[in-house]
Amino acid sequence: MPNIKSAIKRVKTSESHNSQNTTVKSAMRTAVRKVEAAITTNDSAAAKEVLASAASKLDKAASKGLIHKNAAARKKSRLTKKANAL
């Protein structure tokens, strides 16, 4: 544990940021999994519905720097392509 006041604050803020980032990233992964589950069950309406929320979560994660913007675009593209194939 650090002794310097600014280092103590850094540890606290980095822990809170880390927990927030973990929450956002987990929600993003869950949304992507929901889309893939809807696609595997051939439920076109549900897939389109959850695809919108997944795309939003991917964009949000990219804007916060949790994933690269090209990775978000690639994931959205692949999910959309699968959903449209139904």
**Per-residue pLDDT reduced to its tens digit, 52-74:** 999 999 999 999 999 999 999 99
Domain boundaries, the chain: 5-84
pLDDT at 25: 97
Could you tell me the end-to-end alpha-carbon distance of the chain, in angstroms, rounded to an integer?
54
Q: Which of 74, 85, 86 is nearest to 32 (CA)?
A: 74
Q: Is the pLDDT of residue 49 over 90?
A: yes
Q: Is the pLDDT of residue 12 over 90?
A: yes
Assigned CATH topology for domain 5-84: Methane Monooxygenase Hydroxylase; Chain G, domain 1 (1.20.58)
Task: Give the CA distances from residue 81 to residues 1, 45, 46, 52, 68, in Å, rounded to whole numbers and listed in that order.
Answer: 49, 15, 15, 13, 20
pLDDT tens figures, 19-44: 999 999 999 999 999 999 999 999 99
The pTM assigned to this predicted structure is 0.87
Q: Is the pLDDT of residue 86 over 90?
A: no
